[in-house]
Chain A
Amino acid sequence: MLKQILNEIEQATEPLTVPELSRRLHLEPGVVSQMVAFWVHKGRLSGDNIENTPHLQHCGRGCHGPDNCHFVAKMPGAYTLRKR
């Protein structure tokens, strides 16, 4: 089941959404999100949510700090397959 996530991403020819993937695998979107999070933790998917970008530098515009930039809010999580 977990490997199906990776297989679908590997075989896809255009970008996928989690709802689309859950439809293909006949799973709940919440379950697919959890499995994606598992593969991100394992390092097989690059889980690059911009909100979690480390050491975002301060541009001097008066926000509360480097990790609180108001211009990077609301970015969706996006994942790509990492080569083994």
Chain B
Amino acid sequence: MTDASATVVDPESDVARFLFTGHLKKNRIVRPNAFMPPEDDLRLSVCVRDGLDTPAVYDWGNAHAARRDIERDVTEVPRGFAVLHVKDVVSENLTVERDDVPPRHAEIGNWKPEKEARLETAKQLVALVAELQVKLQP
């Protein structure tokens, strides 16, 4: 459900989707699951990238997008991020709305509930990635 205070992100803006280990193949190939929302929560979190250089995007991701498994006491910081032009996202009949919780946080919404439709859209978003940054691992 969209927060009533969320605002539509300018189509000329860019957003960054943070990538974790399972989202990447051979360090440089983005898998469609990086852009696939789960069936019980059809929203995809992103960061509005405008005005942030690469280190600043990583800092945002480390602070706000890190994945924490409390039970196993494991924290995984993003391995990288993929940048999308908002106008490209919107061309897929998706919405990009910013709630700034935390600041710069936005969500890609309006996904179709059918899994095959979400899969197709996710694959299209992979093809539309405008910039890919990945920390190389040994």
Asked if A and B bind, the verdict is no
